[in-house]
Amino acid sequence: MSLIKTISLPSIGDGRGELVAIEGLKTIPFEIARVYYLMQLNEHARGFHAHKKLKQVVICLHGSCRFVLDDGVKREQIILDNPNTALFIENMTWREMYDFKNECVILVLADTYYDEADYIRDYDDFLRLSRQRIQELANEID
Ligand code: T46
């Protein structure tokens, strides 16, 4: 199964411009607890962490950027350059963000409040925890 899960965000346009509406538990698969945005981005890559529980939806509102996602087994990437397409990032997914172009602005919707304890910021820790999780799931099936 692909790590790249996108959600279509259709515009409502009527000659005055475009409006996009996002509703928790309808447009996106969780209730929205927190909203933040990234702007004035430069050549420095960001991310390089995973979340133990947090799920998020990412929308590139302006410009473009490249997201790399990694579940500990495979790595996939997507270029976000359209505010009508959101990227859903599951928990236990390592993310790296690169190539911010054209005054990129990124909006993020999160299913919990900010909690630094939910971050896994070391890649080796992430690999260990994701393998442990896969083993636990396999044990449940046996
Ligand atoms: C993610 C990507 C897409 C807060 O105080 N509150 C917040 O809600 C957030 C998200 C961050 N912070 C603080 C923590 C750090 O001191 O802001 C600082 C920068 O955060 P960070 O280095 O984690 O930023 P990114 O761009 O690497 O990652 C962020 C999110 O943290 C992360 O969950 O998925 O954007």
Strands 46-51 vs 34-38: parallel, antiparallel or unpaired: unpaired
Q: By percentage, how much of the chain surpasses pLDDT 70?
A: 100
Q: Which pTM value belongs to this model?
A: 0.96
Ligand 1, closest atom to CA 56?
A: 34
In the reported structure, the alpha carbon of residue 135 is separated from the centroid of ligand 1 by a whole-number distance in angstroms of 29
CB 93 near ligand 1, within 6 Å: no
Q: Render pLDDT for 85-108 as a digit per residue (tens, 0 to 9).
A: 999 999 999 999 999 999 999 999
Q: Could you tell me if 41 and 111 are in contact, meaning their C-beta atoms sit under 8 angstroms apart? A: no
Output b/e per residue, 32-66; b: 16+ Cβ within 10 A.
eeeeeebeebeeeeeeebbbeebbbbbbbeebebb
| 49 in active site | yes
Contacts of 93 (CB under 8 A, 6+ apart): 3, 50, 51, 69, 70, 71
Closest-CA residue, ligand 1 atom 27, reads 47
**pLDDT tens-digit profile of 68-85?**
999 999 999 999 999 999
